[in-house]
Amino acid sequence: MKPLTIILLTILLSVTNAAAEEVTIAIAANFTDVARILAKRFEQQTGHATRISYGSTGKLYSQIEHGAPFEVFLAADRARPQKAEKEGLAVTGSGFVYARGKLVLWSLKESLFEQGERYLNEGDFHHLALANPKTAPYGLAAQQVMQHLGILERTRPRLVRGDSIAQTFQFVATGNAEAGFVALAQIKAWPGENGSLWEIPESYYAPIDQAAVLLNKGRDNPAAYAFLDFLKSGEAKQVIQTYGYGVE
């Protein structure tokens, strides 16, 4: 290799390094496992770095509203990203749906139920876990399912609310709640036993369209744009689908 080529290559490499930025992302808890994989691939492909905070959509939104340094927001619903755009917290027109979530009823115990619907109707449990409907879209969907089945009122005293879908999952995974409403993606990533699983018909709850949006703080960060582009790529969609989400 000629010295000149080496010099040019060195310059080129240092230039790409200089272009590498860090993007700070707020991600809804249900997407944690997928996000870890996506972030790794994104970093490998682009050389950008990511810094991710996980939490319930409502909690993250309230943090964004109070000036949290997030540049990209991956919510578990459409409403909060829309609200962020409307309130001037996000770049108008940057929102899009990156995944459609699926709600399942899950228990650690094998053969606790074959038909989740009958299990819920019979109500033979001490504690049924769901995420806080006020802050977590999956919790809201769970509430809609119980309303649909007409069991919400009589089940209410036995409902335990997780702060996010991650805590809800942990209530069920430790066996402290016999069953709970969690995201299908969490089950796909769960290394333990399958337990009992009921994939709830999507007609029982309003669609969990999970939208992403570019926040104002990321307006001048190329890495923020790059991450959103990556999220729309075929490769990312494939990973998202593997984890049990619907993609458009």
Partner 1 sequence: MDFDWQPVWLTLKLAGTTTVLLLIIGTPIAWWLARTHVWYKQALAAVVALPLVLPPTVLGFYLLIMLAPDGPVGQLTQAMGIGTLPFTFEGLVFASVLYSLPFAVQPLQNAFEALGPRPMEVASTLRASPWDRFLTVVIPLARPGFLTAAVLCFAHTIGEFGVVLMIGGNIPGETKVLSVAIYDHVESLEYGQAHLLAAGMLAFSFLVLMTLYLVNGRYTRSHRP
Contact call for residues 101 and 228 (beta carbons, < 8 A): no
Kindly state the smallest distance separating residue 62's Cβ from partner 1, in Å: 6
Binding mask 38-67 for partner 1 (x = CB under 8 A): ------------------x-xx--x--x--
Binding mask 134-153 for partner 1 (x = CB under 8 A): xx------------------
Report if residue 210 touches partner 1, rule: CB under 8 A. Answer: no
What's the CA gap between 175 and 186, in Å, rounded? 16
Q: Which of 33, 163, 199, 202 binds partner 1 (CB under 8 A)?
A: 163
> Across the strands, what pairs with 211?
97
Q: Which of 6, 10, 154, 175 binds partner 1 (CB under 8 A)?
A: 175
57 is an annotated ligand-binding site residue: yes
Which of the 8 DSSP states describes residue 188? H
Instruction: Fill in the amino acid letter for 10.
Output: T
Instruction: Fill in the amino acid letter for 139.
Output: G
Instruction: Fill in the amino acid letter for 38.
Output: L
Per-residue b/e over 52-90, b at no fewer than 16 CB within 10 Å?
A: bebbbbbbbbebbeeebebbbbbbbbbbbbebbbeeebb
Q: Which of 100, 161, 188, 237 binds partner 1 (CB under 8 A)?
A: 161
242 is an annotated ligand-binding site residue: no
Binding-site residue numbers are 57, 165
Q: Name the residues that contact partner 1, by CB under 8 A.
A: 56, 58-59, 62, 65, 126-127, 129, 132, 134-135, 157, 159-163, 167, 170-171, 174-177
